[in-house]
């Protein structure tokens, strides 16, 4: 039996959309895990005298939450900057997936789902870019 062709039924995304969204989630998760695990191992090796509670209390990523400080930290090879990058990639992954869903819903002319997904995207971005820095 051959796969169906043409537009998907109302309310369903094409298989290619699901594959693309799955790839985004997998790639983001794998990339963030590689960076985070490598960063944690490097941080522990560079700070062998710190106890676990001291490492957590020192909040090593706090100084690299700005774009310029993150860029300079990455350029100079600071371990904490790579930890920050791993966390940022981990946070950005579901946001990218939601934005991709919004795009595919709009392409499929699913206005209600595109609107809901756009609202979710806006809430995620506001929480990360506005509320997060205020709480920090």
Any domain includes 58? yes
In a domain, 2, yes or no: no
Other beta carbons within 10 angstroms of residue 89's beta carbon come to 20
Q: Is 119 within the bounds of a domain?
A: yes
The answer as to whether 3 is a domain residue is no
Token output for 55: 């490492």
pLDDT, residue 2, reads: 47
What does the alpha-carbon distance between residue 81 and residue 74 come to, in Å, rounded to a whole number?
6
Give the domain range for residue 40.
Answer: 15-135
Q: Per the domain annotation, does 24 fall within a domain?
A: yes
pLDDT given for residue 13 in this prediction = 64
* Residue 9 lies inside a defined structural domain of this protein: no
Q: What is the pLDDT along the chain (136 residues), one digit of tens a residue?
A: 445 555 554 456 677 877 887 888 888 889 888 988 888 888 888 888 877 777 767 777 788 888 899 999 999 999 889 888 988 888 888 888 888 888 888 888 888 988 998 999 898 888 888 877 777 6
Q: How far apart are CA 132 and CA 136, in angstroms?
A: 6
Greatest alpha-carbon span in the chain: 64
- Specify the pTM: 0.65
pLDDT of residue 5: 52
Interior angle at CA 72, CA 67 and CA 76, nearest 5: 150
The answer to the question of residue 122 being in a domain is yes
Q: What is the pLDDT of residue 39?
A: 85
Q: Specify the pLDDT at position 6.
A: 52
Which pLDDT belongs to residue 119? 92
Number of domains composing the chain: 1
Domain presence at residue 4: no
């Amino acid at each position: 039996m051959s796969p169906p062709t043409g537009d998907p039924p109302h309310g369903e995304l094409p298989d290619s959309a699901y594959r693309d969204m799955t790839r985004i989630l997998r790639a983001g998760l794998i990339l963030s895990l590689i960076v985070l695990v490598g960063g944690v191992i490097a941080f522990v090796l560079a700070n062998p005298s710190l106890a676990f509670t001291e490492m957590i209390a020192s909040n090593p990523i706090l100084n690299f939450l700005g774009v310029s400080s993150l860029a300079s930290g990455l350029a100079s090879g600071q371990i904490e900057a790579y930890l920050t990058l791993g966390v940022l990639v981990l946070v950005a992954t579901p946001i990218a997936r939601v934005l991709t869903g919004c795009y595919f819903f709009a392409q499929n002319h699913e206005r209600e789902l595109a609107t809901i997904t756009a609202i979710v995207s806006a809430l995620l971005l506001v929480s990360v870019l506005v509320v997060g820095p205020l709480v920090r």
